[in-house]
């Protein structure tokens, strides 16, 4: 059973547009929500992360919005560029020792010219 539910599975955005990827979770014990970015032929890499004590975190064109009451968080990519074309994964820590993560199913983003 998926502990973080991610949507959409794929997304096509025009250059300069806003890309929005959503994730929902049930476990209120989750205390950290990272997003990983994966380019074709590469492993995922940490993009941006948020803790649930803030509602928003911004790094350049990437913003995480967090809604604790709704148990949802989303990644917004402003002024999307073709170089942003990648697969994005949301994640949350499983706890229980070590920093195991549970990942969403991924969103394949394509930014068209």
Residues lying near another protein in the complex (CB under 8 A): 2, 6, 9, 31-32, 34, 36, 41-46, 49, 51, 89, 93, 95, 97-106
- Shortest CB 54 distance to another protein, Å: 14
Pick between residue 45 and residue 78 the one whose CB is nearest to another protein: 45
User: Which is nearest to 102 in space by CA: 47, 22, 25?
Assistant: 25
Instruction: Measure the CA–CA gap between 27 and 50, rounded to whole angstroms.
Output: 16
Instruction: Measure the CA–CA gap between 82 and 92, rounded to whole angstroms.
Output: 27
- Shortest CB 83 distance to another protein, Å: 19
- Shortest CB 113 distance to another protein, Å: 25
Distance of CA 89 to the CA centre of its chain: 5
């Amino acid at each position: 059973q998926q502990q973080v539910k991610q949507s959409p599975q794929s997304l096509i955005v025009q250059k300069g547009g806003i890309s929005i990827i959503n994730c929902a979770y049930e476990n209120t014990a989750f205390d950290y929500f990272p997003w990983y970015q994966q380019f074709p032929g590469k492993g995922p890499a940490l993009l941006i992360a948020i803790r649930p004590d803030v509602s928003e975190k911004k790094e350049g064109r990437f913003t995480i919005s967090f809604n604790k009451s709704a148990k949802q968080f989303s990644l917004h990519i402003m002024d999307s560029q073709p170089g942003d074309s990648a697969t994005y994964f949301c994640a949350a820590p499983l706890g229980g020792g070590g920093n195991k993560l549970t990942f969403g199913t991924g969103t394949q983003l394509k930014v068209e010219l």
